[in-house]
Amino acid sequence: MLIIYCFLFYTIRTATARDTLNLGQSIRDGETLVSANESFELGFFSPGKSKSRYLGIWYKKIGNGTVIWVANRDAPLSDRSGALNISSQGNGTLILLNSTNGIVWSSNASRTRNPVAVLLESGNLVVKDGKDIDPDNFLWQSFDYPSHILLAGMKLGVNLVTGLNRFISSWKSTDDPAQDDYVYGIDPSGVPQAVFRKGSTIRYRAGSWNGLHWTGMPQLQPNPVYTFEYVSNENEVFYRFNLIKSSVPSMMVMNPLGDPQRLTWMEQTQKWAPFVPFSGLILDQCDNYALCGAYAVCNMNSNSAKCECLEGFVPKSPSEWDLLDKSDGCVRRTQLDCEHGDGFLKRESVKLPDTRFSLVDNKISLLECKELCSKNCSCTAYANADVRGGGSGCLLWFHDLIDMKELSESGQDLFVRMAASELDDIERKKPKKKKKVAIVITSVLLVTGVILLGGFVYLWKRRHRKQGKTDGSSKLDYNDRGNREEEMELPIFDWMAIANATENFSDKNKLGEGGFGPVYKGVLIEGQEIAVKRLSKSSGQGMEEFENEVLLIAKLQHRNLVKLIGCCTQRDERMLIYEYLPNKSLNDFIFDVTRSKFLDWSKRCQIIGGIARGLLYLHQDSRLRIIHRDLKASNVLLDNEMNPKISDFGMARAFGIDQTEANTNRVVGTYGYMPPEYAIDGLFSVKSDVFSFGVLVLEIVCGKRNRGFYHADHHHNLLGHAWRLWIEERPVELINKSLGGSYSLSEVLRCIQVGLLCVQQRPEDRPNMSSVVLMLSGERSLPQPKQPGFFTERNPPESGSSSSKRSLLSTNEITISLIEGR
Burial class from Cβ neighbours inside 10 Å (0-12, 13-18, 19+) for residue 401 reads buried
Cα-Cα-Cα-Cα dihedral sign, residues 552, 553, 555, 557? positive
Phi, psi of 438 (to 5 degrees): -60, -40
Q: Which residues are catalytic?
A: 630
Strand partners, 305: 300
Burial class from Cβ neighbours inside 10 Å (0-12, 13-18, 19+) for residue 101 reads exposed
Burial class from Cβ neighbours inside 10 Å (0-12, 13-18, 19+) for residue 820 reads exposed
Strand partners, 819: 667
Rounded Cα–Cα distance for residues 797 and 786 (Å): 28
Burial class from Cβ neighbours inside 10 Å (0-12, 13-18, 19+) for residue 234 reads exposed
Helix (H), strand (E) at residue 812:
none
Helix (H), strand (E) at residue 621:
none
- C-beta atoms surrounding 14 within 10 Å: 13
Q: Are 282 and 205 in contact (CB under 8 A)?
A: no
Q: Residue type at 679?
A: A
Q: Residue type at 625?
A: R
Strand partners, 489: 475
Q: Helix %, strand %, coil % for the chain, to 5?
A: 25, 30, 45
- C-beta atoms surrounding 487 within 10 Å: 11
Rounded Cα–Cα distance for residues 200 and 203 (Å): 9
Rounded Cα–Cα distance for residues 404 and 351 (Å): 5
Q: Residue type at 207?
A: G
Residue ranges in 530-624 assigned as alpha helix (H): 543-554, 587-590, 601-616
Rounded Cα–Cα distance for residues 489 and 587 (Å): 33
Q: Is 387 helix (H, G, I), strand (E, B) or coil?
A: coil
**CA 643 remoteness from chain centre:** 18
Parallel, antiparallel, or unpaired for β 412-419 and 475-479? unpaired
Rounded Cα–Cα distance for residues 430 and 424 (Å): 10
Q: Are 163 and 144 in contact (CB under 8 A)?
A: no
Distances in Å between the alpha carbon of 513 and those of 23, 491, 533, 534?
A: 79, 24, 9, 9
- C-beta atoms surrounding 350 within 10 Å: 22
Rounded Cα–Cα distance for residues 392 and 369 (Å): 10
| DSSP structural state of residue 711 | B
Q: Residue type at 131?
A: K
Backbone torsion region of residue 207, taken as left when φ is above 0, otherwise alpha when ψ lies between -120 and 50, otherwise beta: left
Rounded Cα–Cα distance for residues 305 and 469 (Å): 49
Rounded Cα–Cα distance for residues 590 and 601 (Å): 12
